[in-house]
Chain A
Amino acid sequence: MSAAPHTALAARSVQVPLDVAAIRLEFPVLAQSVRGKPLAYLDNAASSQRPQVVIDTISRYYETTHANVHRGVHTLSQQATDLFEGAREKLRRFVNARSTREVVFVRGTTEAINLVAQSYARPRLQSGDEILISWLEHHANIVPWQMVCEQTGAQLRVIPMTRRGEVDFAAFKSLLTARTRLLALTHVSNALGTIVPVQHFIAEAHRRGVPVLLDGAQAVPHLAVDVQALDCDFYCFSGHKMCGPTGIGVLYGRESLLAAMPPWQGGGDMILAVSFERTIYNDLPYKFEAGTPHISGAIGLGRAVDYLQALGLDRIAAAEHDLLEYATSRLAVVPGLEIVGTAPEKAAVVSFTVQGIHPHDLGTILDSEGVAIRTGHHCAMPVMEFYGIPATARASFAFYNTRAEIDRLVDALALAREVLG
């Protein structure tokens, strides 16, 4: 009996769609005009926008509370510390980490991956060892591993992708060997939107005793992430893609692994005691947070988590899936348009090319109509190379986007054909 109300609540929250009109009013940036046209912001995979409550939380923190954290006995310092550590607890709950000792604040996904590369991988790797990544990776999940391979003599191995834009699971199994030391895999492809069925990869890697890092930059907040259910060893994500501030992100790490890793950067806050002979490092997670942290960023990100959870991640996912299906069906019938990346499971990202029109020209022409999309290689040059194209145009949606904005995208594509076709 006691489970029934929860079930009913969950079912209702899926059925009641988001009130997008009301939500849009909470995002001041969306209310403006660009080049004389109302802004249609369809570049959310690059960075999302922020609701007023996140902006206000940051302002209020600076107006009323700011002091350095973990240092003073004075009132403001204690209040700032409470807010900062309160944010860490919100982030812990958001990804369901076991403890806040597993939640390290970093600048973003890129820094999180570099931290693991330098602090976890580098001391362990030897010549002949292998790191496994996939063809779908963003440069941030390629270059840090190339650097650590150069430093240690280890080899980088790449799991091939399929024409539809999936990571080839059969090829992965054959690439997983006794030499593999780490699998670093994207959860959602930023260039194509593919949702990688990471749980299968993790289970297979763990059967071989290989730890797994997930690049979750595009997954959060489009899907609910539970690091314990995923059973991943590291999970990296950025605040600015989930309605939080720039310059703040999270490295989740399994505590046993983090505990065994040396600090990455040295400085204040990451120590317990310093003398010229010997320094005793601080406990987790502070061991990895040298220097004054991005206090306002963490607090703002914590507020963004509250905001997203109040909307409901299931309802956000449903709204974005609706936008993806609508955009896919409308774009599929645009003459000369080809959708790049057609995996069965996708986040709300549509990458495409239009015959005879370079993506950059599309980007400029769409901008003249107030429609903001990303054009280029999306920091995933190997993916572009796979398809034999220099670049794509990419529309990426958030829960605050509308079908009407997708209609404007399609109309602007018609204009592009008029101008350049």
Chain B
Amino acid sequence: MDLSELYRDVIVDHNRNPRNFRPMPGADSHAEGFNPLCGDRLTLFVKLDGDRISDVSFQGSGCAISVASASLLTESVKGRTVAEAERLFATMHALLTRSDATVDVAALGKLGALSGVREFPARVKCASLCWHTLDAALHRKSVPVRTE
């Protein structure tokens, strides 16, 4: 496996300049995710307009994969309905974990840059942490999310 398959330009860019990396006063919901093995930690904030995610942001610290994945997540779910975000979560989960998954990577846009992570099993949890955390925020789960 080539290293450049993992650290694609989109990932490096979103790690260096994470989008929507800010706290959100007045968020409707937030959840914490953390990766005890790595020390990745993030808080995800969500603002809802009815059933639609009107704003989403995150804060925290972690490796390039976890930061870029969270940054890409915020860009891709903003404006979507909760149900759409949940479907995207399922798709991302399949993309990251199932080698036999029939995921249309091209249709995922920038999120498709994470497809290389599957070849690095030790890093899958870095990429999926933010998605589990989003799921918790949307369902207002009070227990911190962990991917171990």
Contact = CB atoms under 8 A, between A and B. Distances in A.
Contacts of A376: 37-39
B138 interface: no
B63 A360 contact: yes
A59 to B, nearest CB: 30
Contacts of B12: 419-420
Interface of B: 1, 3-4, 6-7, 12, 15, 37-41, 61-65, 120, 122-123, 126
Given A390-B61, A419-B7, A364 B39 contact: no
Given A360-B123, A364-B123, A377 B39 contact: yes
Given A35-B1, A419-B12, A420-B7, A364 B38 contact: no
Contacts of A368: 1, 3
Contacts of B65: 360-361
Contacts, number: 48
B47 to A, nearest CB: 28
A273 to B, nearest CB: 46
24 contacts: A358-B63, A359-B63, A360-B38, A360-B40, A360-B65, A360-B126, A361-B65, A364-B3, A364-B6, A365-B3, A365-B7, A368-B1, A368-B3, A376-B37, A384-B39, A390-B39, A390-B41, A390-B62, A391-B38, A419-B4, A419-B7, A419-B12, A420-B7, A420-B12
A361 B65 CA distance: 8
Interface of A: 35, 357-361, 364-365, 368, 375-377, 384, 390-391, 419-420
A391 B37 CA distance: 9
Interface core residue of A365, A375, A391 (most chain B CB under 10 Å) = A391
A419 B3 contact: yes
B88 to A, nearest CB: 25
Nearest to B3: A368
A375 B12 CA distance: 20
B117 to A, nearest CB: 10
Contacts of A375: 38
Contact of A364 (B41, B62, B120): B120
A357 B6 CA distance: 15
A359 to B, nearest CB: 8
Nearest to B12: A420
A390 B40 contact: yes
A361 B3 CA distance: 11
B15 to A, nearest CB: 7
B121 to A, nearest CB: 11
Given A358-B62, A364-B120, A364-B122, 4 more contacts: A358-B64, A368-B1, A376-B39, A391-B39
A343 B63 CA distance: 28
Nearest to A360: B63
A234 to B, nearest CB: 29
Given A364-B122, A365-B3, A420 B38 contact: no
A83 B138 CA distance: 61
B1 to A, nearest CB: 7
Contacts of B62: 358, 390
Contacts of A364: 3, 6, 120, 122-123
